[in-house]
A and B are shown apart, each in its own frame.
Chain A
Amino acid sequence: MKENSVLEMRHIYKCFPGVRALQGVDFTLGKGEIHALMGENGAGKSTLIKVLTGVYEKDEGEIYLDGLDKPAVIRSPQDAQRLGISTVYQEITLCPNLTVAENMYIGRGTGRLTNWKQMNTDADRILTNLGIPAKAQQQLSDCSIAIQQMVAIARAVDMDCKVLILDEPTSSLDESEVEKLFGLMRDLRARGVGIIFVTHFLDQVYEVCDKITVLRDGQLVGEYVIEELPRVKLVAKMLGKELDDMEEIKDETNVYHGDDAYVFEAKGLQSEAGIKPFDFYIKKGEVNGFTGLLGSGRSECVRAIFCADKVTGGTVQMNGKPVKLTKPLDAMKNGIAYLPEDRKLDGIVGDLSVRENIILAAQVLKGFFKPFSRAEANAFADEYIKLLEIKTASADTPIKSLSGGNQQKVILGRWLLTHPEYLILDEPTRGIDIGTKIEIQKLVLKLASEGMSVTFISSETDEMLRTCSRLVVMRDRRVVGELSGFDLTQGKVMETIAGGDAS
Chain B
Amino acid sequence: MTLKKHISVSKQIFIPIAALVLLAVFNLLVDPAFFKISLGHNSAGDPVLTGYLMTILDYGSEVAILAIGMTLVTAASGGQDISVGAAVAIAGSVILRILVGIGGDGSLRAPIFVGFLAACVVSMLFGAFNGMLVAVFKIQPMVATLILYTAGRSIAAWINNNELPIVTDKSFTYFGGFIPGIPIPTPFFLAVVCIVAALLALKFTNLGLYTQAVGINASSSRLNGINPVFIKWLSFVLLGLCVAVVGLIKTSRLSSINYSVIAKDIEMDAILAVALGGNALSGGKFNIMASIMGAYVIQFLTTTLYKFNVSSDALPAYKAVVVILLVVISSPTVKDKLIGLQKRMKQQKGGGQS
Contacts and interface: CB of A to CB of B under 8 A. Distances in A.
Decide if A and B touch, CB cutoff 8 A: yes
Interface of A: 306, 308, 327-329, 332, 338, 340, 345-352, 356, 360-361, 363-365, 367-371, 393-394, 396-397, 414
B137 interface: no
B213 A360 contact: yes
Given A363-B206, A393-B1, A394-B2, A345 B224 contact: no
Given A349-B213, A349-B216, A396-B2, A328 B225 contact: yes
A350 B1 CA distance: 17
A397 B1 contact: yes
B221 A349 contact: yes
B206 A368 contact: yes
Given A371-B206, A393-B1, A394-B2, A352 B212 contact: yes
Contacts of B203: 371
Contacts, number: 85
Contacts of A350: 216-217
A143 B174 CA distance: 65
Contacts of A338: 223
22 contacts: A328-B222, A329-B227, A340-B220, A346-B219, A349-B221, A352-B212, A352-B213, A352-B285, A356-B212, A361-B224, A361-B225, A363-B209, A364-B210, A364-B226, A368-B206, A370-B206, A371-B209, A393-B2, A394-B5, A396-B5, A397-B1, A414-B224
B312 interface: no
Contacts of A364: 206, 210, 224-226
B225 A348 contact: no
Nearest to A367: B206
3 nearest A-B pairs in the assembled complex, by CB-CB distance:
A393-B1, A329-B225, A364-B225
Nearest to A364: B225
A371 B140 CA distance: 31
A349 B220 contact: yes
Contacts of B5: 394, 396-397
Contact of A394 (B1, B205, B212): B1
Most buried by A among B2, B219, B222, B224: B224
B308 interface: no
A45 B206 CA distance: 42
A56 to B, nearest CB: 14
Interface string B219-243: 1111111110000000000000000
A306 B5 CA distance: 35
B225 A365 contact: yes
Contact of B223 (A340, A351, A397): A340
B284 interface: yes
B24 to A, nearest CB: 32
A464 to B, nearest CB: 23
Most buried by B among A306, A361, A414: A361
A396 B225 CA distance: 23
Contacts of B223: 306, 308, 328, 338, 340, 346-347
Interface string B306-327: 0000000000000000000000
Nearest to B202: A371
Given A308-B223, A345-B220, A349-B213, A371 B205 contact: yes
A369 B204 contact: yes
B211 to A, nearest CB: 11
A345 B213 contact: no
A349 B225 contact: no
A351 B219 contact: no
Contacts of A370: 206
B13 to A, nearest CB: 17
A371 B204 contact: yes
A349 B225 CA distance: 13
Given A351-B284, A396-B5, A397-B1, A368 B220 contact: no
Interface in B120-153: none
Nearest to A365: B225
A351 B216 contact: yes
A360 B227 CA distance: 13
A302 B280 CA distance: 35
Nearest to A414: B224
Contacts of A351: 212, 216, 284-285
B121 to A, nearest CB: 22
Contacts of B209: 356, 360, 363, 371
Nearest to B226: A364
Contacts of A347: 220, 223
B46 to A, nearest CB: 42
Nearest to A360: B224
A365 B224 CA distance: 9
B296 to A, nearest CB: 26
B41 to A, nearest CB: 47
Most buried by B among A338, A345, A349, A356: A349
A368 B284 CA distance: 18
B11 to A, nearest CB: 14
B219 A345 contact: yes
A346 B225 CA distance: 12
Given A351-B212, A397-B1, 9 more contacts: A328-B223, A329-B225, A348-B220, A351-B216, A351-B285, A352-B213, A367-B206, A370-B206, A396-B2
A365 B206 CA distance: 11
Most buried by A among B204, B219, B222, B225: B225
Interface string B186-224: 000000000000000001111101101100110111111
B224 A328 contact: yes
A393 B5 CA distance: 11
A340 B224 CA distance: 10
